[in-house]
Amino acid sequence: MWMDLAIKAGLAVVMMLIVINIAGIHSWVERKQSAVIQDRWGANRAGFTLNSPLWRWLNPLLRPIIYLGLFQPIADLLKLVAKENWSPVGGMKWLHAVAPFLYLLFAFAGFAAIPFGDTLHVAGRDIALQVASLNVGFVFIFAMAGLGVYGIVLSGVSSNNNYAFLGAVRGVSQMISYEVTLGATVIGIVMVYGSLDMQEIVRGQGALLWGWLPKWGVFVQPLGCILFFTAALAETKRIPFDLPEGESEIIGYFTEYSGTKFGMFLLADFVETVMVAALTTTLFFGGWQFPYLQASGFVFPWGAEVAVGHYAVVAIQVVSFLVKVIAFCWLLMTIRWTLPRFRYDQLMDLGWKRMLPVSLANIALTGLVILLIEAL
């Protein structure tokens, strides 16, 4: 029993490290990727050189790090941590302090239900590579995403600032509007794979369509994939949908935050980006599935088989999951540096008048097709 607990704790730590590292490096990726997209260099100055004769030999090693701008996130972090822990006059001090913690907590909690590999057999144990093997994984993830609204509400209400309050109102209405579409698109996936368990959905995506095409969500639910990705993009509250934040122009809900607490909001945004990438991967791009890789090895549609050891299979699966997640993080970042912000009425129109009806139609269509396939 203690061993099981230790294994779960270990898995939680692994997942946490994966997420926090990908999210942390986003602050660097954000600078450098935008720079490369816009024909610039990006941050390549932050850093230090060592003048002491004892450590001077390290300078050639530091230079490429400075050149790549990798000291910039550290400098950002030091700046944020060194700032005063301030709370607004007339605000609710305790709630103001709690809001970013809640926001970050719920952003992280959803990852518990994301599987990053199939069952690992080691030393006579079966370890499911998933922090919490929930049979209602979906509901849990959307519940956590929904609870994240509390962070926004509390930060807006407790700041004693009308702009922050309005930002929070915009944030809440946006999150709630797009969560409807998010839930509706996922129903199509649930209907196709017949389970609410994330691990079962990913296993279902290992099957082949017509004997050659991996049965990934994107192939059986192309419309659902686009709708889900768009709605999830809105949930991250980053640029085409950044009306709740809009730091420089329209003043968002964390206006009254500085220092570490501001940093937590920033990190939570990146964590949500990784969450969207992980969810899209899991639901629509086969999760940890690698095309034609079965538990025994590669089974190609033209009949060839390549036996692969169990540990290698699990390693390929985990790496496959991570590569897909990072690719989606890249895509999300590219979208963030491509599209301009929506106007608020456009945002609401898109959510309620376009995406919701289309996603409902998608459910009906999926049901019809499934019925037809079963009848034939």
Partner 1 sequence: MEAVARKPGTVTPAGGVKRGPLTFWERVYVVEAARGVWITTVHFFRNMGYHFLHLVGLAKGRQAAVTVQYPEERRYLPPRSRTRHRIVRRDDGSPRCVGCMMCETICPARCIYIVAEEDPDPNIEKRPKRFDIDLGMCVFCGFCVEACPEDAIRMDTQMVDLAAYSRRGMILTLDQLLAGEPAGPVESINALGERVHG
Question: Where on the chain is the footprint of partner 1 (CB under 8 A)?
Answer: 33, 35-41, 226, 230, 331, 334-335, 337-339, 350
Q: Which C-beta is closer to partner 1: that of 86 or that of 344?
A: 344
Q: How far is the CB of 141 from partner 1 (least distance, A)?
A: 25
Q: How far is the CB of 255 from partner 1 (least distance, A)?
A: 29
Q: Which C-beta is closer to partner 1: that of 319 or that of 327?
A: 327
Task: Give SS3 for 252.
Answer: coil
Give the pair of three-digit tokens for residue 316: 């390929």
Half-sphere exposure of 321 (CA within 13 A, CB side): 27
**C-alpha span between 59 and 194 (Å, rounded):** 58
**C-alpha span between 244 and 148 (Å, rounded):** 14
Contact 191, 363 (CB under 8 A): yes
**C-alpha span between 186 and 358 (Å, rounded):** 13
Q: How far is the CB of 24 from partner 1 (least distance, A)?
A: 21
Q: How far is the CB of 327 from partner 1 (least distance, A)?
A: 12
Q: How far is the CB of 225 from partner 1 (least distance, A)?
A: 11
Q: Which C-beta is closer to partner 1: that of 237 or that of 336?
A: 336
Q: How far is the CB of 157 from partner 1 (least distance, A)?
A: 34
The contacts found for 94-99 with CB under 8 angstroms, 24 or more apart, are: 95/154, 95/157, 95/158, 96/154, 96/155, 96/158, 96/159, 96/256, 97/261, 98/154, 99/150, 99/151, 99/152, 99/154, 99/155, 99/158
Q: Which C-beta is closer to partner 1: that of 53 or that of 340?
A: 340
Q: Which C-beta is closer to partner 1: that of 201 or that of 233?
A: 233
Q: Which C-beta is closer to partner 1: that of 294 or that of 338?
A: 338
Identify the CA nearest to 317 among candidates 340, 339, 292, 336: 292
Contact 252, 245 (CB under 8 A): yes
Identify the CA nearest to 325 among candidates 128, 117, 145, 179: 117
**C-alpha span between 210 and 217 (Å, rounded):** 15
β-bridge partners, 119: 128
Q: Which C-beta is closer to partner 1: that of 147 or that of 226?
A: 226
The contacts found for 2-9 with CB under 8 angstroms, 24 or more apart, are: 3/125, 7/125, 7/127, 8/131
Q: Which C-beta is closer to partner 1: that of 62 or that of 335?
A: 335
Q: How far is the CB of 338 from partner 1 (least distance, A)?
A: 5
Q: How far is the CB of 40 from partner 1 (least distance, A)?
A: 5
Q: How far is the CB of 298 from partner 1 (least distance, A)?
A: 29
Q: Which C-beta is closer to partner 1: that of 296 or that of 334?
A: 334
